[in-house]
Amino acid sequence: MYYLTHNDANYQCIVDRESQLAEVTVNYIPKRRISRAYSQLQTGDIIAVATNISGLNFTHTGFVYRYPNGRIGLIHASPAGTVTIARDLQRYVSNVKNSMGVVVVRAIDPRHIQREYD
């Protein structure tokens, strides 16, 4: 926090970036349709729980966890501060207060990115 409160350039950089991000459209999977996307989810995909709280986009994050039987769960830090695995992603999100659904993000392996200098 020190670097934000004592460095105007850093603070302004964050304000500018947030302003740019405010213009970005983010699509989400409604909570009643999450299970329909299970076949497309991969272990390690980042899940952000979208909320209808004004001024707040997400209330919680975690990672897709695929059980050996194919069931999709969510590995995340619980409010109690321990890492836990929710048994079913859709059921978990449906029980999160003010949740609307999820946004899924998949990290790209940098070894598979075509670089301009390659």
* Cα distance between residue 105 and residue 61, in whole Å: 11
Residues 15-64: pLDDT tens digits? 888 888 888 888 999 999 999 999 999 999 999 999 999 888 899 999 99
Q: What are the pLDDT digits (tens) for 68-111?
A: 998 999 999 987 889 999 999 999 999 999 999 999 999 888 88
- pTM for this structure? 0.77
Amino acid at 49: V
Q: How many CB atoms lie within 10 A of CB 111?
A: 5
Distance CA 58, CA 55 (A): 10
Complete domains list, the chain, with CATH: 27-107 (2.30.260.10)
Structure tokens at 43: 């272990």
